[in-house]
Amino acid sequence: MPRKISVDVIPEILIWLRESSGWNVEEVSKKLRTTSELPQSTRYKHI
């Protein structure tokens, strides 16, 4: 059974990492095996 790991992250860092790597939300969602709604819902309102 796969282990689950909980990690505290700063959303701005994840957004910067995704944007600087040239990936879009759908590509990241596929790699994380989730839907594209999850990464978008974690964004801060000012970003």
The torsion angles phi and psi of 33, rounded to 5 degrees, stand at: 55, 50
Q: What is the pLDDT of residue 46?
A: 44
Q: Please, what is the average pLDDT of the chain?
A: 78
Q: Where in the chain are the domains?
A: 1-47
Among 34, 47, 13, smallest CA distance to 26 is for 34
Q: Helical H runs in the chain? A: 11-21, 25-32, 37-41
Q: What is the pLDDT of residue 43?
A: 53
Q: What is the pLDDT of residue 42?
A: 55
Question: pTM value?
Answer: 0.54
User: How do residues 1-47 score in pLDDT, each as one tens digit?
Assistant: 778 888 888 888 988 998 999 999 888 888 888 877 755 555 554 44
- Residues with Cβ within 8 Å of residue 25, at least 6 apart in sequence: 18, 36, 39, 40
